[in-house]
Structure 1
């Protein structure tokens, strides 16, 4: 049993070497007319190499008389780098449960969303998602405004 624990501990140390694991989260605010919504989405991920990563985001959204909880696993591919700026695309699956008063509904989606990451230091980055394209809750479409978010990541 002790050997298994030691092997698992050493494996965890190996996984966290060279800034392969990151944690952080994003914030977004959506508003139009009299309607407004705010969301927070902590996330964690693992970098397989310099161009590929996978992660999981958990979201909480408030606004328009409703509260929504979401889970969003994703695969990220970095396709271009200019100095400290990296451009990426996420392929993701989304499951959301929304509650408004006594009513509730669950929806899902699958799609892609581009983003940009700016390295501030070896460990800290600013990350923004600027749009999304895919199938979400019964509708296929491109969303440029309400899908935007900004966040901070810490890699260790």
Structure 2
């Protein structure tokens, strides 16, 4: 038992020592429109690597649940991105993520379910991070500029298809990172 515990501690120390530049965390978003009886909950775990002081690559793998007037849509999403940090001052960083997104799932309505509901997109998301310590950063993405698309099954469940700027509650997420 002692050998296993010693091995586990040595393994964790080795991985942590070689993990410099990596970050992990994620964000959550919750939106509720009482007037139109719509609710959306999103959880997006994230991992990334800082290539330089200003450039990072990363990816998000998450879950999006939306309810729209009796129709439920559950999507699993993947979204790789390239991040450019264009401003640093003290604990504040301003950045922009450029990336693509793909989600797939099913819509459920009146006891039935749809064929595969798919969403996709390409664009940029501006963001801000507050580095509260050497290892912990609070982050927020605010807005979206690009294209969001959806197949007929996803559109029937309320997913939009648009090109342009999004600055509504659906385009704000708050999260944190742990920097290794």
TM superposition score normalised by structure 2: 0.75
CA RMSD of aligned residues (A): 1.7
Look up the match of 1:88: 95
- Give the number of the structure whose alpha-carbon radius of gyration is greater: 2
Which of 48, 53, 76 is the equivalent residue of 1:50?
53
Cα drift, residue 107 of structure 1: 2.1
Look up the match of 2:75: 68
Look up the match of 2:146: 134
Q: Distance in 1 between matches of 2:164 and 2:119?
A: 15
String of CA shifts for 1:114-154, please: whole Å, max 9, x gaps: 00000010000000000001011042121112111000100
2:147 pairs with 1:144:
no
Q: Distance in 2 between matches of 1:30 and 1:141?
A: 20
Q: Distance in 2 between matches of 1:13 and 1:31?
A: 40
Look up the match of 1:154: 178
**Stretches of 4+ moved more than 3 A in 1?**
12-15
Which of 31, 34, 38 is the equivalent residue of 1:35?
38
Gap regions ≥5 residues in structure 2: 1-14, 150-160
Gap regions ≥5 residues in structure 1: 1-11
Secondary structure (helix, strand or coil) at the match of 2:171 reads coil
How many residue pairs get aligned? The number is: 144
String of CA shifts for 1:61-90, please: whole Å, max 9, x gaps: 112111111000000000001210000000
